[in-house]
Structure 1
Amino acid sequence: MIDFHCKCGTRVFFRNTQCLTCQRLLGFDSVGFYMLSLRAAANDHRVLHDEDSGKEFRYCGNYDDYNACNWLLPAASPERFCISCRLNKTVPDLDRGINVERWIRLESAKRHTLYSILRLGLALTPANDRHIKLEFAFLEDGRTNAEYADTFVATGHGSGLITINLAEADASYREKVREQLGESYRTLLGHFRHEIGHYYYELLVASTDWRAPFETLFGNPDEDYNSALKQHYNTVADDWAPDYISAYAQSHPLEDWAETWAHYLHMIDTLETAGQFDVMQLKGESAEGRGVLNKPFAELVDTWLELSVKLNALNRSMGMRDAYPFVITDPVYAKLDFIHRVVGASVAA
């Protein structure tokens, strides 16, 4: 994540909508990757003026309606919603106040995920011959709403549609499930990064020349999925084989890919953040955003391993769990390197 600053020099953050020092409005430009400092036009408060470029913007409609998004559109755009919110196929019943709070948490994690994808240079909804389109559905079941007592909504992905159960926005529920499943890490951001990994497998690997090397590293993606997951949950354990980044990655080759993809995004995004805040720097120029795709992968991993040790030490000093409780073994390294090469080839093309 970039270290953003308001026009007045105050440090601001990705979720901010106003600078507390100079009172300028803040909004994220997903094209230029800037946090813009804006003034409302005198004749129309919805039109936001950027003093530096002279351009005019407006907030996403979900800012106007729910204060749920700070991404910007050009003022003259015919669209009501930003590039992130336009991907929503289904949102929960927002007449229920608690749903608005939970939905806003989901949207925040989604925007951070899309930031990472766009920062790498990947397209969100590229044209493809199978008509796979990225969409999101945020759904309730009996865990959050008694009206749906007999229903069960699984978080997952299918043909471009990413479904997230609204219950995952509840930190206490998420922690309960983490303990039940023996997971060492469970976050909203992790969910989004994992599920969008399934989407990019379909786009970048499934029907391409990358399919054969994928099978060599991850296994046969056509292995019976439901049987594999049933077996996994019947034998779930706190530890996992050294060939995998997590216990869940063992369940099926496609889950192994999605888990490894999520860790690739963890690594790339956190390395950029560390560099932006002068915690740890990658060597050379263009070591942020899509510039990381030009870096030797071994250098990325070496820097990441050193950084993750420091992160864990800092967390322990605060009495918290390790920020990165994982081990990158040689087989995991090979899988991460494969993803690095797939992403690099796609962006270059």
Structure 2
Amino acid sequence: MIDFHCQCGTRVFFRNTQCLTCQRLLGFDSVGFTMVSLRPVSEANKTLRDDVTGKEFRYCGNYHDYNACNWLLPVTSRERFCVSCRLNKTVPDLSHSINVQRWISLESAKRHTLYSILRLGLALTPANNRNVKLEFAFLEDGRTNAEFADTFVSTGHRSGLITINLAEADAAYRERVREQLGESYRTLLGHFRHEIGHYYYELLVASTAWREPFETLFGNPDEDYSSALTQHYGSVQSNWVPDYISAYAQSHPLEDWAETWAHYLHMIDTLETAGQFEVMQLKGEAAEGRSVLNKPFAELVDTWLELSVKLNALNRSMGMRDAYPFVITDPVYAKLDFIHRVVGSSGTG
């Protein structure tokens, strides 16, 4: 994540909508990858101007309706919603205030995920003959709404549609499930990074020349999925083996890919943040955005391992769990390196 600053020089953050020093409005420009300092120009047209560049913008419609998004559109755009919110197929019933708060949490994690995807130059639209369209559905079941007592919504991915159970936005619920499943890590951001990994398998690997080396590393993606998941959840969850980044990655080759993909995004985003805040720097020129793909993967991993040790030590000093409770073994390294090469060859950006 970039170290953003307001026009007045104050450090601001990706989620901010106003500078607390100069009171200028703030919004994220997903084309220029910057937080823009803004002043109102036309209240009737909801037009905002960046006085540094002279560009004019509008907030996403979800900013005005629910204060749920701070992404911007060019004032000339005919769209009402930003590039992130336009991907929503289904949102929960927002007449309930608790649903609004949970949905806002989901949207925040989704935007952070899409930031990483766009920084790597990856397409958000179909890029091969699989023709899968990226969409999001945020759904309720009996865990958050008694009206849906007879339904069960699983967080997952199918043909480009990423479904997230609204209950995952409840920190207490998420922690209970983490304990029940013996997981060392369970966050909203992690969910989005994992599920979008399935989407990019469809776009970048399936029906491409990468399919064969994928099978060599991860296994046969056509293995019966339902049977594999049933077997996984019927076993001891903590029975992790070193060939995988997590216990859940053992369940199926596609889950192994998605778990490894999520960890790749964890690494790349955190390394960029560490470099921006001068906590730790890769050798040579700073690796930012898609330029990180030009770095030797061994260098990325060496820097990441050193950084993760520091992050874990800092968390322990605060009495918190390790920020990165995982081990990169040789087989996991090979899978991460494979993803690095796939993303690097994607040809977008």
Shorter-normalised TM range: over 0.9
Q: Report the secondary structure of 1:41's partner residue.
A: strand
Partner of 2:34: 34
The amino acid of 1:176's aligned partner reads R
Shift of 1:44: 3.9
Deviations 1:167-194 (A, max 9, x none): 0000000000000000000000000000
Are residues 1:146 and 2:146 paired? yes
Cα distance change, pair 221–196 in 1 and its aligned pair in 2 (3 A): same
CA drift at 1:18: 0.2
When structure 1 is superposed on structure 2, of 129-138 and 93-102 the one drifting more is 129-138
8 Å CA contact 1:24–1:37 kept in 2: the answer is yes
Instruction: Tell me the CA shift for residue 212 of structure 1.
Output: 0.2
1:302 corresponding residue in structure 2: 302
1:216 aligned partner: 216
CA contact (8 A) 1:88 1:136 kept: yes
- Residue 124 of structure 2 corresponds to 124
> Partner amino acid for 2:280?
M
Compute the displacement of 1:288 (Å): 1.1
Q: Structure 1: how far apart are the matches of 2:278 and 2:45?
A: 37
Give the CA deviation at 1:283: 1.1
Contact 2:123 2:348 in 1 (8 A): no
1:255 alignment partner in structure 2: 255
State the secondary structure of the residue aligned to 2:189.
Answer: helix
Q: What letter matches 1:89 in structure 2? A: K
Paired residue for 2:16?
16
Q: CA deviation at 1:46?
A: 1.1
Under a length normalisation based on structure 1, what TM-score does the superposition of the two structures give?
0.98
Match of 2:327 in 1: 327
**Residue in 2 that maps onto 1:47:** 47
Instruction: Give the Å deviation of 1:43.
Output: 5.6
In 2, Cα distance between equivalents of 1:342 and 1:52: 38
Post-superposition CA distance 1:41-99 (Å, at most 9, x none)? 15647100010111100000000000000000001210000000000000000001100
CA RMSD in angstroms, aligned pairs only: 1.0
Shift in Å at residue 284 of structure 1? 1.4
Rounded Cα–Cα distance in structure 2 between residues aligned with 1:348 and 1:15: 26
Other structure's SS at 1:347 match: coil
Secondary structure of the structure 2 residue equivalent to 1:346? coil
- Residue 61 of structure 1 is matched in structure 2 by 61
Alpha-carbon offset, residue 127 of structure 1: 4.2
**2:227 corresponds to which residue?**
227
Give the Cα–Cα distance (whole angstroms) in 2 for the partners of residues 154 and 276 of structure 1: 37
Q: Map residues 1-349 of structure 1 onto 2, 5 A cutoff.
A: 1-42=1-42, 44=44, 46-347=46-347
Q: Secondary structure at the match of 1:38?
A: strand
Deviation at 1:286, TM superposition (A): 4.5
Contact 1:84 / 1:111 at 8 angstroms: preserved in 2? yes
Q: What is the CA–CA distance in structure 2 between the aligned matches of 1:43 and 1:69, rounded to whole Å?
A: 19
Deviation at 1:348, TM superposition (A): 5.7
Query: What 5-or-longer segments of structure 2 have no aligned partner?
Result: none
- In 2, Cα distance between equivalents of 1:203 and 1:94: 32
Cα distance in 1 between the residues matched to 2:250 and 2:14: 34
C-alpha contact (below 8 Å) 2:125/2:134 kept by paired residues? yes
Question: Following superposition, which runs of at least 4 residues in structure 1 exceed 6 angstroms of deviation?
Answer: none
One-letter identity of the residue aligned with 1:243: D
> Could you tell me how far apart the structure 2 residues matched to 1:296 and 1:76 are?
41
Secondary structure of the 2:345 match is helix
Q: How many residues align?
A: 349
SS of equivalent residue, structure 2 residue 93:
coil
Cα displacement (A) at 1:128: 3.2
**Conserved in 2, the CA contact under 8 Å of 1:236 and 1:247?**
no
- SS state of the match for residue 20, structure 2? coil
Q: Is the 8 A contact 1:18 1:24 kept in 2?
A: yes
1:8-39 per-position Cα deviation (integer Å, ceiling 9, x unaligned): 00000000000010000000000010100000
Rounded Cα–Cα distance in structure 1 between residues aligned with 2:32 and 2:128: 25
- Structure 1: unaligned runs, 5 residues or longer: none
How far the C-alpha of 1:237 sits from its partner, in A, is 2.3
Identify if the C-alpha distance between structure 1 residues 315 and 43 changes in structure 2 by more than 3 Å, giving closer, same or farther: closer
- The answer to whether the 8 Å contact 2:127/2:203 transfers is no
Provide TM-score, normalisation by structure 2: 0.98
Q: Specify the code of the residue in structure 1 equivalent to 2:296.
A: P
Per-residue Cα deviation, 1:83-126 (whole angstroms, up to 9, x for no partner): 00000000000001100000000000000000000001101113
| Larger mean Cα displacement after TM superposition, 103-112 or 238-247 | 238-247
Distance 2:41 2:286 in 1: 36
Which residue identity lines up with residue 186 of structure 1 in the other structure?
R
Cα separation, 1, equivalents of 2:172 and 2:281: 35
